[in-house]
Amino acid sequence: MSFESIGLSESILRAVEKQGYDTPSPIQEKVIPHILAGKDVLASAQTGTGKTAGFTLPMLEILNKVQPTGKKPVRALVLTPTRELAAQVHESVESYSEFLDMNSTVIFGGVKQMKQVARIKKGVDILIATPGRLLDLVDQKLLFLDKVEFLVLDEADRMLDMGFARDLNKILALLPAKRQNLLFSATFSPEIKKLAKAFMHFPKLVEAEPENSTVDKIIQTVYRVDIKDKLPVLINMINDGDWKQVLVFTRTKHRANRIADKLNKVKITASAIHGNKSQGARTKALEDFKTNNIRILVATDIAARGLDIPLLPHVINYELPNVQEDYVHRIGRTGRAGASGEAISLVAHDEVDYVAGIEKLLGEKFERNIIEGYEPKLEDAPPTKKQNGGGNRPRNIRNSDTVPKRRTQKNFNDKKKRKFVGKK
């Protein structure tokens, strides 16, 4: 099958060819005909399979057939969970609509709204947005959604994970009842199915790959390493392999900053990207990474989805995620669009259970490798129940022997006596 045989117009085919594509990916083959036929689509596909083009191309095809007169209202709304993903989708829409009379823009928080509002006032066919900024502009009556013909929820499972369920319901209430709905998710969880049932009309179910599968061309390697050795191992890997572009994942913002600082001190250019960074800093770090101005991008799971870095060769899990599905999305930043890639996980004693969970999710076993000179030691293991008096408790739950004794009237008076005697 070719893009031409699917039924796309000449202008869109030119744009697709300019991007270097000639054959649809499996997810594109399956969803584009349904969308062109006017059907609602509920689609699941592994990351890096081209789903953005899967909904963008047919959406542009349909919108281009009927052009409104006068100022353009928002006719298509694409919602994404993160700013980075919103920016990436907008880039794709801009590229594929290059030879069409079609306007698009992107709005998200973290930056001043003035430029975004000015763009909307000029008229926009396609709006890509994060839920928070979208509702903010609607509340200010700077944005109206009463003419929307297309609604796309991209990475819908991630939106629910991030707590956007209430915002999504508010947005759905603002849209016309008659519209075409497209929902793309990495998983078909019960929550996703419930969401789809609430607003979609007899959707076509599309699954390009089994849920939570990983790209075959990604080489996955696990190394057992003590916590204290993770940084020197990371540095040695980068230097010994002369790696020029590496995405490193951590669980916390603090550690992302710390690793980036340590790498820069040993002359390995690096930047951190996470939720506490300003949008300007996040955008600059990502652009520097894409253009090879820096070698290493250290990120929290904010970058597990939404970062499209062509031909990214290496992803390193400095720390494994405590949500198994996030592992799939992390390593999916490499091995995209048919390219090969390498995903390495540095696993300490307290992360062994995470590996087991990931193996269960993927249905495969990882070989545990040891690096010569950095063999893990038993003392790196987490405290046992006997050692800490209560096992691995949440930080906000203290053991009984650490809870301060309640101050009674008797020990309060005793304390006063001690003070008085001391002064006397």
Question: What HEC string does 11-62 produce?
Answer: HHHHHHHHCCCCCCCHHHHHHHHHHHCCCCEEEECCCCCCHHHHHHHHHHHH
Interval 122-137 mean pLDDT: 96
Residue 244 has pLDDT above 80, yes or no: yes
* Cα gap 44→244, rounded to integer Å: 32
Residue 32 has pLDDT above 80, yes or no: yes
Residue with tokens 């700077």: 142
Residue 148 has pLDDT above 90, yes or no: yes
DSSP 156-196: HHHHHHTT-HHHHHHHHHHS-SS-EEEEEES---HHHHHHH
Output the six-digit token pair for 317.
């899990």
pLDDT at 421: 43
Task: Kindly tell me the sign of the dihedral angle through the C-alpha atoms of 165, 166, 168, 173.
Answer: positive
User: How many angstroms separate the first and last alpha carbons of the chain?
Assistant: 97
* Cα gap 143→138, rounded to integer Å: 5
Task: Name the least confident of 98-102, 181-185, 278-282, 294-298.
Answer: 278-282
* Cα gap 43→56, rounded to integer Å: 14
Please name every residue paired with 347 in a beta bridge, in sequence order, or none if there are none. 224
What residue ranges define each of the domains in the chain, with the CATH number in brackets?
A: 3-207 (3.40.50.300), 218-380 (3.40.50.300)
Percent of the chain exceeding pLDDT 90 equals: 57
Is residue 362 within 8 Å of residue 216, measured between CB atoms?
Answer: no
Residue 295 has pLDDT above 90, yes or no: yes
Residue with tokens 């759905």: 172
pLDDT at 46: 62
pLDDT at 173: 95
Task: Name the least confident of 72-86, 193-207, 298-312.
Answer: 298-312
* Cα gap 29→177, rounded to integer Å: 28
Is residue 180 within 8 Å of residue 151, measured between CB atoms?
Answer: yes
pLDDT at 41: 96
Output the six-digit token pair for 402.
């650490």
pTM of the model: 0.66
pLDDT at 305: 64
Pairing of strands 104-107, 41-44: unpaired
Residue 157 has pLDDT above 90, yes or no: no
Residue with tokens 């009556």: 141
Output the six-digit token pair for 137.
């502009």
Secondary element (H or E) of residue 409: helix 409-423
Residue with tokens 């599968």: 213
Q: How open is the CA angle 338-56-5, to the nearest 5 degrees?
A: 70
Residue 397 has pLDDT above 70, yes or no: no
Please name every residue paired with 205 in a beta bridge, in sequence order, or none if there are none. 42
Confidence of residue 166 (pLDDT cuts 50, 70, 90): very high
